[in-house]
Chain A
């Protein structure tokens, strides 16, 4: 009985997702359940899912990262800028390297500089935005390269977009590392109880810094996918993604107080959010209402999570 109960509790996000899909099926089957729409939903889910994974890791080590959207923008812009002259490899690897380093800088500011995570990452958001802006000179850089565009167009059996495959691969790797390597345990220990982690000879600071770095790379990947999706590099492409990633992670049960939460559920949280936007769009209510729903979900989810603490 207890098992069933705890299983149901574990599956709360799946229930929400099912309910959403059901609502769409009953009321807006034709506009929601068509191939193009579903394809787009899976692609955007992948972008947000990967970004959310980064944010979730940061939240698990008891941090928070506001620089998500800016990093995505930088990755896409840098990639678009590099593509014509330096080729695919450089256009993929250099942006990821840049995002990883900037993520590490976040971690260093927080751990070594003793700056509160919100302030440090907001500052970083502007610095990164400024970098991206100076690369693009404030304009949009179109992406002509077919190979790069194909990432977004590609699919398996014309049904599952490559993006989503990417998300699955990254998700599986993350879960594998979580349960089969010491570092997976250390990340949770650092957020769960810093003192206990310290007494267990775990290098708390270094792990936190590393997590910000890995998160930076994940934002970078999300940004590259986004650039491929919109076929251009622009600094503002990730605007609001910090918000979406935090919301998705919290919706997926990642605790803001650190140390608790399932990465897979966080990714599911991202899928739910994107499906929700899809459903809202299918109902053709004002597209502007999205932000209100978003805000309410975030505050509501955190309220739900902190109620018992």
Chain B
């Protein structure tokens, strides 16, 4: 067989962490190859190796059958490899034509730009892809699909015949996805090989010839797209393993318990999508769903970090209008953000200062009671088993798991009776996950409420009492008891808003969590 690119036993290690382990993939010329996997499964590492951005720690790369010992970005480019990073390579404030030829302008005598030629060529490339946009328009004014196509055109004018499209389908609506697919298929007819990376599984199934699945840095299997359903693919992506058994359905029965949080008709956009959910005392509500489904936004809107366009948030029986962090904290509602570096930690301050931060407003008088703050911070840090040299160590010096524990431990006291966590397991080791879960469960046992967003089913199963699945900015399922298992959850990942979803076992979007 005539392979456009072959990877053999490629591995990539960063210190002790393995990003890619013994991956062997061969892609025939003129094929669309889907590449799927969860966050951190190794998709982007693989694409960066092919584009020459990073060098593998071991293994070899062959292009058109001949081995390339040292693939640099320049070498990859001249070998006809182009990469489209989720329109990250477009400058929004520049025109379509300027972007298509950025870094690759056509120049004439005295290096003067041949603008007419570039405009013509840009128009031709775009027309060949079947779309007609004014090349003088700014990229920032284009729709997501058109941006994606401009990015592809940019790779094409550099005469590439192996195109990596990284998360091409993200934030495209149905019609736009169809458009993008038709463009990519047209390229396949022109014998361009395409590697299509996406976490939108039905998107990949609909487009690809074959699909390779990565999990934890290893290639799990390569499937023939024609004989694969999105559901089968989803199971392959997340795996079957369950760390814990689901909690008993009886646990999810909170009738009669006080309602801590009641969200109704809430939205942060102008369209019709809206959310409703309820958290009662002692309840751990999980939220999961594909990337970009709106999980984070939901939690941030509830906590007041994003303005709501409509809907109400009722806390302990009182509707809270203008929400902000200060106000929610005063009411005993706390929030752990998704990104601990940008929003969670004071990296260059001590652990004690990080943990004490919300306690400061309770300090009376001018002088801090430093002894009390220290004692309490130490108690909290120890409670969640933070491994630290001293409470005075800088937060930035801790490992990822311990950093996350510091952020969570701030709220480990009875003053906070509702904790909202956004992806608390991201990039931390399994021990830290267990410690955080233990803290969450202890909170619930004391009668507090917890909402936790995560895409890691293994963590949610056995922890949460109720699980909401959010797809495309809608709650498509509310699961309890045994229904909280990987197979059941992924069925809803493909739930299309326009068509009726899988029927059995769960309630539809309208009855969300009530």
Residues of A within 8 A of B (CB): 179-182, 185-186, 188-189, 192-193, 195-197, 199-202, 259-260
* B273: Cβ under 8 A from any A Cβ: no
Q: How far is the CA of A185 from the CA of B95 in the complex (A)?
A: 10
Contacts of A195 in B (CB 8 A): 88-89
Rounded to whole Å, the gap between the CB of A263 and the closest CB of chain B is: 14
Selected contact of B92 from candidates A193, A200, A202, CB within 8 Å: A193
B88, A260: Cβ atoms closer than 8 Å: no
Task: From B92, B94, B102, name the one whose CB has the most chain A CB atoms within 10 angstroms.
Answer: B102
* B98: Cβ under 8 A from any A Cβ: yes
Give chain B interface residues in 83-134, CB to chain A under 8 Å. Answer: 85, 88-94, 98, 102-105, 107, 111-113, 115
A189, B113: Cβ atoms closer than 8 Å: no
Are A200 and B93 also in contact (CB < 8 A) when A181-B111, A185-B102, A185-B105 are? no
A180, B91: Cβ atoms closer than 8 Å: no
Selected contact of A200 from candidates B74, B102, B111, CB within 8 Å: B102
Contacts of A192 in B (CB 8 A): 91-94
B88, A199: Cβ atoms closer than 8 Å: yes
Selected contact of A193 from candidates B91, B112, B113, B115, CB within 8 Å: B91
B93, A259: Cβ atoms closer than 8 Å: yes
Residues of B within 8 A of A (CB): 73-74, 77, 85, 88-94, 98, 102-105, 107, 111-113, 115, 154
Q: How far is the CA of A259 from the CA of B154 in the complex (A)?
A: 20
Q: How far is the CA of A201 from the CA of B155 in the complex (A)?
A: 13
Q: Closest 8 CB pairs between A and B?
A: A200-B103, A199-B89, A192-B91, A192-B93, A200-B102, A193-B91, A259-B93, A201-B103
Q: How far is the CA of A186 from the CA of B74 in the complex (A)?
A: 19
Contacts of A185 in B (CB 8 A): 94, 98, 102, 105, 113
Selected contact of B113 from candidates A181, A188, A196, CB within 8 Å: A181
For A259, give the chain B residue with the smallest CB separation: B93
Apart from the given pairs A196-B102, A197-B91, A200-B154, 4 other A-B contacts in the complex at a CB distance below 8 Å? A181-B111, A181-B113, A193-B90, A197-B102
B94, A189: Cβ atoms closer than 8 Å: yes
Rounded to whole Å, the gap between the CB of B297 and the closest CB of chain A is: 19
A200, B98: Cβ atoms closer than 8 Å: no
Rounded to whole Å, the gap between the CB of A200 and the closest CB of chain B is: 3
Contacts of A186 in B (CB 8 A): 103
Majority SS of interface residues in chain B? Answer: loop
Q: How far is the CA of A200 from the CA of B93 in the complex (A)?
A: 15
Rounded to whole Å, the gap between the CB of B119 and the closest CB of chain A is: 13
Contacts of B91 in A (CB 8 A): 188-189, 192-193, 196-197, 259
B103, A260: Cβ atoms closer than 8 Å: no
Q: How far is the CA of A179 from the CA of B112 in the complex (A)?
A: 9
Q: How far is the CA of A201 from the CA of B115 in the complex (A)?
A: 20
What would 17 A/B residue contacts be, using CB atoms closer than 8 Å?
A179-B113, A179-B115, A180-B112, A180-B113, A181-B112, A182-B107, A188-B93, A192-B93, A193-B91, A196-B89, A196-B102, A197-B91, A200-B89, A200-B154, A201-B77, A201-B103, A202-B103
For B102, give the chain A residue with the smallest CB separation: A200
For B51, give the chain A residue with the smallest CB separation: A199
Contacts of B88 in A (CB 8 A): 195-196, 199
For B98, give the chain A residue with the smallest CB separation: A185
Rounded to whole Å, the gap between the CB of A6 and the closest CB of chain B is: 11
Contacts of A181 in B (CB 8 A): 111-113
Q: How far is the CA of A188 from the CA of B98 in the complex (A)?
A: 10
Selected contact of A196 from candidates B90, B104, B115, CB within 8 Å: B90
Contacts of B103 in A (CB 8 A): 186, 197, 200-202
Contacts of B74 in A (CB 8 A): 201
Contacts of A193 in B (CB 8 A): 90-93
Q: How far is the CA of A139 from the CA of B92 in the complex (A)?
A: 50
Contacts of B94 in A (CB 8 A): 185, 188-189, 192, 259
A260, B105: Cβ atoms closer than 8 Å: no
Q: How far is the CA of A196 from the CA of B140 in the complex (A)?
A: 13
Q: How far is the CA of A182 from the CA of B90 in the complex (A)?
A: 16
Q: How far is the CA of A196 from the CA of B84 in the complex (A)?
A: 11
Are A202 and B112 also in contact (CB < 8 A) when A188-B93, A192-B91 are? no
Contacts of B113 in A (CB 8 A): 179-182, 185
A182, B92: Cβ atoms closer than 8 Å: no
Rounded to whole Å, the gap between the CB of A181 and the closest CB of chain B is: 6
Rounded to whole Å, the gap between the CB of B107 and the closest CB of chain A is: 7
Contacts of B93 in A (CB 8 A): 188, 192-193, 259-260
Contacts of B89 in A (CB 8 A): 195-196, 199-200
Selected contact of A199 from candidates B85, B105, B112, CB within 8 Å: B85
Q: How far is the CA of A240 from the CA of B74 in the complex (A)?
A: 46
For A197, give the chain B residue with the smallest CB separation: B91
For B88, give the chain A residue with the smallest CB separation: A195
Q: How far is the CA of A199 from the CA of B105 in the complex (A)?
A: 15
Task: From A186, A197, A200, A259, name the one whose CB has the most chain B CB atoms within 10 angstroms.
Answer: A200
Q: How far is the CA of A53 from the CA of B375 in the complex (A)?
A: 58
Rounded to whole Å, the gap between the CB of A275 and the closest CB of chain B is: 29
Task: From B74, B88, B115, name the one whose CB has the most chain A CB atoms within 10 angstroms.
Answer: B88
Rounded to whole Å, the gap between the CB of B40 and the closest CB of chain A is: 21
Q: How far is the CA of A255 from the CA of B228 in the complex (A)?
A: 50
For A257, give the chain B residue with the smallest CB separation: B93
Contacts of B73 in A (CB 8 A): 201
Contacts of A260 in B (CB 8 A): 93
For A195, give the chain B residue with the smallest CB separation: B88
Rounded to whole Å, the gap between the CB of B221 and the closest CB of chain A is: 31
Q: How far is the CA of A46 from the CA of B245 in the complex (A)?
A: 77
Contacts of B112 in A (CB 8 A): 180-181
Q: How far is the CA of A186 from the CA of B101 in the complex (A)?
A: 11
For B53, give the chain A residue with the smallest CB separation: A199
Rounded to whole Å, the gap between the CB of B399 and the closest CB of chain A is: 26
Rounded to whole Å, the gap between the CB of B497 and the closest CB of chain A is: 31
Contacts of B107 in A (CB 8 A): 182
Q: How far is the CA of A186 from the CA of B103 in the complex (A)?
A: 8
Contacts of A201 in B (CB 8 A): 73-74, 77, 103-104
Q: How far is the CA of A111 from the CA of B74 in the complex (A)?
A: 23
